[in-house]
Structure formats: structure tokens, C-alpha cells
Amino acid sequence: MTKLRPGVIFGEEYKTLIQAAREGQYALPAVNVVGSNSINAVLEAAAANKSDVIVQLSNGGAQFYAGAAMPDSFQARVLGAVSAAQHVHLLAKHYGVCVVLHTDHANRKLVPWLEALISHGEDYFRANGRPLFTSHMLDLSEETLEDNLSESERLLKRMAPLQMSLEIELGCTGGEEDGVGSDDDIGSDNPKLYTQPEDVLEAYNRLDPLGHFSVAASFGNVHGVYKPGNVKLRPEILRESQKLVRETHGLGENPLPLVFHGGSGSEKAKIAESLGYGVFKMNIDTDTQFAFSEQAGAYVFETPNAFKHQIDPETGVPYKKVYDPRKLLREGEKGIVTRLTEAFEDLRSTGKSLAQ
């Protein structure tokens, strides 16, 4: 098997990683991070499980990385992402695994954010001979297919010379913001929630000549975790899209790299099934958020007095060793590591790092 250097990978290395995942029918978790604590926890988990991993920032996560109160929030969203990427470039190789650096959803309003990141990427490429990010996501799934694809073409033309990849979304991943997954049943036949194979073929026809891309497909997946029964996953939608592209272009099995959004809280059997249809990346955010807070919260509840008094008013016991923020943050990090260990197993990537 081809081995890759550890650290942030891009271009041909990224394609090698995707091919290994397709052949081995495994996927990598793409974990949303918000600071150096969550980044380090993701790297720690990947190293401990000998799995490669995807680190991604949403625009909100990037803003938080720069500082929630930074005066210019647009600048914070750009510089926070750049700063986080530099942190990962510096440290990832020392964890001995391959890391994909990615940015999450950018809708129409966030295209200027994406373009600013690409501009930073161009500067970084000139200075270092490699891109700042492995890939970016452009999510115009709420727009017409024509608008979605023409904008994807325009950005991919800018990114391809930097050896970057573009993730697009076809069909709409639901979430709280759409009232999807709420107590009103979403209905398993809602066409908005299911990607149409013809749209995937159209995307392939237009983007494949321009550069590397992947598709976040909707097969009933939603963002967040909801009551059981509200979400009906239909991974066979992915199979049909792969089949149409494969037969039209005479390609091999699962020609398209597919991305599974809204992986948190999904049924394990449906996750396993999607791995057989070319899913190489599964986003996980809600579950790692909860894992961090659950374990950090348990730590606080253990000695609540230490979070109200520096010295216990009755016993005189000093609490410095308990309220040291490193203790609290470390508990949160350990929560993320434990949850990701489960994710690597679900996605069958444990022990499969390509790093030499």
C-alpha cells in the first residue's frame, strides 16, 4: 500500500487517501474544531487509533479561534481559520498520522469568506509550495443547480492550481434551521432531502474536467441529534448516484468521493452501508461537542465548591489544583478522544493510517 508522509496532506496525496478509503471501504471522521484544545484532542485521538483524520472549521468555529470578541467579525472568520490551519501544519506531523485540513459549509453569504481564504491560500502556496487548506466546502444547495454548479466551477478554477479540492453539496442536508428533524415528522419521501442522481451526473460532467471535487449528498441525513424515528436514512440514494456516473462514463466502482454530513447520532448499520457506496468522509460535530461538555461537566459536578471558591470557606482547603483551567479543558479533550475512538471504529479506519 502507498505510504504518505505524516502531517497535512493535499493534491495527489489526498487522492491516494481517498482511493485507499474506497478500496478498503472505510471513511475518516471530519471533526469540527473551535480552538487548539479541540484540534489537539483530534490529533491525539487519531494518533492513538492509528487512523488518518480530517480537521475542519466552520466559519463560526474560525471566528471563535480568532477570539469571540475580535472587533471585525469578518476578519476574525478569515484569520481564525488561517491561524488554526497554521497550528495544524506545525503540529500534525509530530502526531504521526495524515491530516486533511478543510473548511465546512459556506453558503452564498459566505462566498467572500471562502474567497478571502483562497487568497490567503495563494500567498501560502507561493511561500511554501503547498496549499494552506486541503479543501474547502462551498454549499449552494439552497440555490438552483445552475447557480450552484457555475459558482463551483468558478471557485474550483481558482483552487485547482493550488492543488486544492472542492466539496460541494447537492440536495439539502436538513437541520434545526430548516425545521427538519423537529417534532414534526420530516417524512422519508421529502424530495428536498434526497440528492437526485441526475444532478450528481451533471456536477461530474462540469467539475471533473476542472479539478478534484467531492460531493456531500443528501440521503435523509440531518445536522444534529434528534429523537429516534424522525430521521430515515436511505444510503441506496448514494449507490444510485455512483451507478449513473459509473455507467455514463465507463468508470470503476464508486467513482465519486462522497461525504456524509450530519453523521452525529446516525444508526450504525446505515453508516456501515454508506461505506460501501464510496463515502470517504463523515462529518461529526454534535457528538464531539457533547463528549467534551459531558466529561468537563462531570468534572465540575465532582467538586462544585472549587468552582465557587478559591479556598473552601468551611474546611480551608485550597482548590488551586482543581480549578486550574488545564484540568477542566483536559477532561473535555479526553471526552473528545473517547468519542472519536468510537467514530474510527464505526468508520472502520482504526489502524489504517497511511502515514509511514
Which spans of this chain sit near Zn ion (rule: CB under 5 A)? 261
Structural contact between residues 95 and 43, judged by C-beta atoms closer than 8 angstroms: yes
The C-alpha cell at 293 is 461538555
Structural contact between residues 340 and 30, judged by C-beta atoms closer than 8 angstroms: no
The H-or-E segment that residue 29 falls in is strand 28-32
Question: Min. distance of Cβ 176 from Zn ion in angstroms?
Answer: 12
- Amino acid occupying residue 346: D
Nearer to Zn ion by Cβ, of 45 and 216: the residue is 216
d(CA 68, CA 219): 34
Go through 232-263 and write b for each residue having 16 or more CB atoms within 10 A of its CB, e for each that does not. bbbbebbbbbbebbbeeeeeeebbbbbbbbbb
Using the structure block, give the residue that is written with the C-alpha cell 480530517.
54
Nearer to Zn ion by Cβ, of 96 and 224: the residue is 224
Question: Min. distance of Cβ 60 from Zn ion in angstroms?
Answer: 13
Q: Reply yes or no on whether 312 is catalytic.
A: no
Spatial CA neighbour of 139 closest among 174, 176, 179: 174
Nearer to Zn ion by Cβ, of 261 and 339: the residue is 261
Nearer to Zn ion by Cβ, of 172 and 244: the residue is 172
Using the structure block, give the residue that is written with the C-alpha cell 468537563.
296
- The residues annotated as belonging to the active site are 104
